[in-house]
């Protein structure tokens, strides 16, 4: 019986050792798989991190490009406004100059008309004076003739 017990014990021991070795090997394989999964997960995380980083960089570049475009548009708009103000100022200056010349022309025309009226009035006065002188001369002659007749 001892022999059977020993056989059973050694058989149980062999089974335990075999199961222990199999269990250890299974645990070792599971640990390797876990390490591999962890490495893959880490690589995936790193890839996602790099992808996000690239996306963020692309977004930054896009934003930068948009800002540069806006800046250029604003600069062009400001330049356009500046040119517009310059032309408006020049136009205003020309209008002012035109008004000045128009005023000067009106003044000269008014002076010419005034001189013309003055000359006409002088001529009229002279004509009236001449008529008066003529009529006075005629009256003087009449007076003188009357006086001659009386004397």
3-state secondary structure (DSSP) of residue 1: coil
More confident: 36 or 139: 36
User: With bands split at pLDDT 50, 70 and 90, how would you rate the model's confidence at 146?
Assistant: low
- Mean pLDDT, residues 141-148: 53
Q: Scan for tokens 């005034």, then name that residue.
A: 114
3-state secondary structure (DSSP) of residue 87: helix
Q: For residue 134, what pLDDT is reported?
A: 73
Tokens of 58: 């692309």
Tokens of 31: 């640990």
**pLDDT (tens digit, 9 = 90+) per residue, 63-120?**
999 999 999 999 999 999 999 999 999 999 999 999 999 999 999 999 999 999 999 9
**pLDDT (tens digit, 9 = 90+) per residue, 6-60?**
677 776 766 667 666 777 788 889 999 999 999 999 999 999 999 999 999 999 9
CA 14, CA 9: separation in Å to the nearest integer?
8
Q: For residue 91, what pLDDT is reported?
A: 96
More confident: 3 or 29: 29
Q: How many residues are recorded in the chain? A: 151
Residue 149 clears pLDDT 70, i.e. is over it? no
Q: For residue 135, what pLDDT is reported?
A: 76
């Amino acid at each position: 019986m001892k022999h059977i017990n020993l056989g059973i014990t050694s058989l149980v021991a062999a089974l335990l050792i075999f199961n222990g070795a199999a269990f250890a090997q299974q645990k070792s394989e599971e640990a390797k798989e876990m390490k591999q999964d962890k490495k893959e997960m880490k690589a995936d995380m790193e890839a996602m991190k790099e992808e996000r980083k690239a996306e963020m960089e692309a977004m930054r570049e896009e934003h930068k490009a948009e800002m540069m475009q806006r800046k250029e548009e604003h600069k062009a708009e400001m330049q356009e406004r500046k040119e517009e103000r310059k032309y408006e100022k020049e136009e205003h200056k020309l209008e002012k100059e035109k008004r000045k010349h128009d005023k000067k022309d009106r003044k000269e025309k008014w002076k010419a008309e005034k001189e013309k009226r003055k000359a006409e009035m002088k001529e009229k006065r002279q004509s009236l004076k001449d008529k008066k002188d003529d009529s006075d001369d005629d009256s003087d002659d009449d007076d003188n003739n009357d006086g001659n007749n009386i004397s």
